[in-house]
């Protein structure tokens, strides 16, 4: 799919991987709606990028707000061709820890944001895309979701996060098969350790340790590298129903 002239909705688009994706899409000629809880950061990014970008406040766990974000995207721009889901949270908690059993509400909260929130974005964006006129390849839309290498090699204390990201991976192929009849593709990216706000609060020593676990290059990933993969996924029509790792050959240890 040619990005120029298309309309995109980015959940979690105010910072980190999402913000890098917003910048990439605008620079490539798309009109982008930034959907995020952080109004200050979202409006600042939209203001920086000019008329091609706008902001809408959205909580991925709020069905009405997700639907409103999709509706607002179509209303402002006439269509929705690209949806990228990057909103997510993580916690570190053992099943049996010093303070007792893993808190069930915290486990559910992670699944609610990372898995169910992603599914809600997918279903509402896909429905909007079915109204688009197909291109020469029968293409109506592209959806990119964000998992994690923790979906495959979750560490001790990552059970909630790994379960949520494993669910994103698991639903990619069945959704791609179902959406094929509408000319809508879906691909998942599983990043390794990237420099995002989720990691920004870690001590420098911890960040250095994580960097050294990557065989090559031995560093944290850059959000722009995630965005570059999103660009290729959108432009390469043969990528569908797949989860792509972007992790510098990292395989997470048990802890």
Q: Are 235 and 3 in contact (CB under 8 A)?
A: yes
- Beta-strand pair 96-97/100-101: antiparallel
Whether 226 is catalytic is no
In this prediction, residues 110-129 reach a mean pLDDT of 98
Select which of 55, 107, 161, 226 is catalytic: 161
* Burial class for 155, CB neighbours closer than 10 Å (0-12, 13-18, 19+): middle
What pLDDT, on a 0 to 100 scale, did the predictor assign at position 213?
86
Q: Is the pLDDT of residue 202 over 70?
A: no
Q: Is the pLDDT of residue 184 over 70?
A: yes
Report how far residue 101's alpha carbon sits from residue 147's, in angstroms, rounded to the nearest whole number. Answer: 26
Q: From CA 193, how far away is CA 183, in angstroms rounded?
A: 32
CA distance 89 to 132: 32
Q: Please give the CATH architecture assigned to the domain spanning 7-246.
A: 3-Layer(aba) Sandwich (3.40)
Beta bridge partners of 82: 8, 142
* CA–CA separation, 232 and 32 (whole Å): 17
pLDDT exceeds cutoff 70 at 203: no
- Interval 32-46: pLDDT, tens: 999 999 999 999 999
What per-residue confidence (pLDDT) applies to 56?
98
Whether 4 contacts 52, CB under 8 Å = no
């Amino acid at each position: 799919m040619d990005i120029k002239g298309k309309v995109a909705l980015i959940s979690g688009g105010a910072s980190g991987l999402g913000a890098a994706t917003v910048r990439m899409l605008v620079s490539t000629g798309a009109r982008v709606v930034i959907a995020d809880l952080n109004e200050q950061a979202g409006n600042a990014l939209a203001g920086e990028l000019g008329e091609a970008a706008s902001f809408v406040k959205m909580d991925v766990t709020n069905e009405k707000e997700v639907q409103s974000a999709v509706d607002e995207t179509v209303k402002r721009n006439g269509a929705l061709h690209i949806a990228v889901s990057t909103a997510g949270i993580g916690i570190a908690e053992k099943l049996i820890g010093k303070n007792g059993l893993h808190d069930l509400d915290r486990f559910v909260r992670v699944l609610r944001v990372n898995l169910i929130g992603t599914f809600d974005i997918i279903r509402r964006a896909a429905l909007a895309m079915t109204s688009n006129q197909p291109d020469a390849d029968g293409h109506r839309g592209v959806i990119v979701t964000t998992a994690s290498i923790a979906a495959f090699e979750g560490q001790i204390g990552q059970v909630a996060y790994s379960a949520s990201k494993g669910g994103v991976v698991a639903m990619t192929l069945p959704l791609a098969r179902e959406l094929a009849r509408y000319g809508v593709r879906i691909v998942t990216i599983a990043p390794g350790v990237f420099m995002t706000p989720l990691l920004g609060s870690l001590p420098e020593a911890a960040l250095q340790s994580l960097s050294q676990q990557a065989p090559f290059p031995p560093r944290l990933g850059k959000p722009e590298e995630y965005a570059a993969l999103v660009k290729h996924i959108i432009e390469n029509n043969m990528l569908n129903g797949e989860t792509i790792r972007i992790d510098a050959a990292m395989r997470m240890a048990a802890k």
